[in-house]
Amino acid sequence: MTNWIDIGTIADIPRLGARTVETALGQVAVFRTAEDEVFALINKCPHKNGPLSEGIVMGRKVACPLHNWVIDLNSGHADAPDEGCTTPLALKDEGGRLLLGLDAVAAVAHG
C-alpha cells in the first residue's frame, strides 16, 4: 500500500522552482516544471549532498547549486559524464493537490 500524503497545492511551488518537505528520512525537494509537471527527489545531490531544491530548474532537470551537476527530476540520475543518483519519490498532482508517496521512504528508513 502506498501511503499518499497531502503536502499542499501545486500553486505553492513556483513554476521552474522547488519547495522542501521535511520527512522522517530527511528533506525531500518537490519541483514544478514550466509545464506544471511535478517531481519529488531526496534533497541531496549524489555528488556532495548539495540541496537540489535550491538549483535552477530547466526542462525536467535541475542544476545543483554547489557544483552544477545536472540531475534528472524523473529518475534522479546525474547527466553524463557525471555519475550518481538520488532517490526519486512518487508524487501525484490530483486536481492541484500534491500527494507524496512515502512507502519508498519508509522502506529505506527501516530497511
How many angstroms separate the CA atoms of 77 and 94, rounded?
26
The single residue listed with the C-alpha cell 509537471 is 37
Q: Which of 58, 94, 96, 108 binds another protein (CB under 8 A)?
A: 58
Nearest to 84 by CA among 52, 38, 40: 52
Nearest to 102 by CA among 14, 45, 21, 46: 21
Count of residues engaged in binding another protein, rule: CB under 8 A? 39
Contact between 2 and another protein per CB under 8 A: no
Contact between 107 and another protein per CB under 8 A: no
For residues 3-42, which are near another protein according to CB under 8 A?
5, 7-8, 12-17, 19-24, 27, 30, 33-35
How many angstroms separate the CA atoms of 29 and 22, rounded?
9
Contacting positions for another protein (CB under 8 A): 5, 7-8, 12-17, 19-24, 27, 30, 33-35, 48-51, 54-59, 63, 65-66, 68, 70, 80-81, 100, 102
